[in-house]
Amino acid sequence: MALSPNKVRAALAEGRVVIGSVIYSWSPNVMEVAGYAGLDFMRVDLEHSWRRDTSLEELMRAAEISGVEAVVRVEKDDPQMIRRVLETGASGIIAPCDPDVEAVEKAVEAARFPPRGTRGYSGNCRSAAWGTRAGAEWVEWSDSEPMIGVMIEDAQAIECIDEMLAVDGLDFVLFGPADYSMSLGLGRPAKNNDDVQEALAKTVAAAKKSGKHVMLGVGNDMDEIVRYAEMGVTMLETGNDCRTLGAFWRDLAAGILDRTGGRKKER
């Protein structure tokens, strides 16, 4: 694995929004297609879609081949999983965490080597090219290129959002409107609820103040995507692979039936 600059980090530093999606199929082919299609990042979800095998390494290889950055959401409160994911070569991690500053600090510490963090050293991993690129250069790269993010998905987080976003070493947050809605007692995902949108706006404002970034699932509706970009969301996560493909096939099938009158053509 090459110790290359993080393209998402570089693009954000230049003031550009970055565009990505989520992979639920666990297909390396889909990961490759995402890179060839020009997406900046693909999020891999270990919180709700988990495989305890070599699948993650295969996705990392496909991401490297096609030039897309793979960002992995880990399980809650698991610093060892953060280390393992980074050792596979992930370009970033997202940690679900408690809604307080201490939890953000713990996520950063788990992802960084001493003295900033507590990450254990081993160059015998894919990220260090199985020891062939281990050592000081790899440690420096590991502490500077992979991006660190946490989830904002609880109403209590907004009470200390400025302090959470100000934590040194944090790069971005993923705002989760579905769980945030549930934390408000709405009993369902309600992304467009006024209180949810207000919380998102406060998160964006806190990120701007601290020089950080906000990732948000924006679906595939262009008007919605543009609205959130204008709001200040800089990491735009479009619809996941399975849902996008399903919607395309559904619309295509409906269009074919409409144009052909719903009848099979005679041979």
pLDDT per residue over 222-245, tens digit each? Answer: 999 999 999 999 999 999 999 999
Residue 214 belongs to domain with CATH number: 3.20.20.60
For 244, residues 6+ apart whose C-beta sits below 8 A from its C-beta are: 21, 220, 238
- Rounded Cα distance between 228 and 71, Å, is 21
Task: Give the pLDDT confidence score for residue 96 in this predicted structure.
Answer: 93
Question: With contact defined as beta carbons under 8 Å apart, do 127 and 142 qualify?
Answer: yes
Tally of domains in the chain: 1
pLDDT per residue over 108-152, tens digit each? Answer: 999 999 999 999 999 999 999 999 999 999 999 999 999 999 999
| More reliable by pLDDT, 229 or 265 | 229
Q: Which domain holds residue 255?
A: 7-260
Query: Is residue 266 a part of any domain in this protein?
Result: no
Question: With contact defined as beta carbons under 8 Å apart, do 15 and 25 qualify?
Answer: no
Query: Is residue 197 a part of any domain in this protein?
Result: yes
pLDDT for 50 beyond 90: no
Query: Is residue 1 a part of any domain in this protein?
Result: no
- With a threshold of 0.85, does the pTM exceed it? yes
- Rounded Cα distance between 13 and 171, Å, is 11
Query: Is residue 265 a part of any domain in this protein?
Result: no
Query: Is residue 189 a part of any domain in this protein?
Result: yes
Measure Cα distances from 170 to 164, 177, 178, 187, 225 in Å. 9, 20, 23, 31, 24
For 23, residues 6+ apart whose C-beta sits below 8 A from its C-beta are: 30, 31, 34, 42, 43, 44, 45, 59, 240, 241
pLDDT for 103 beyond 80: yes
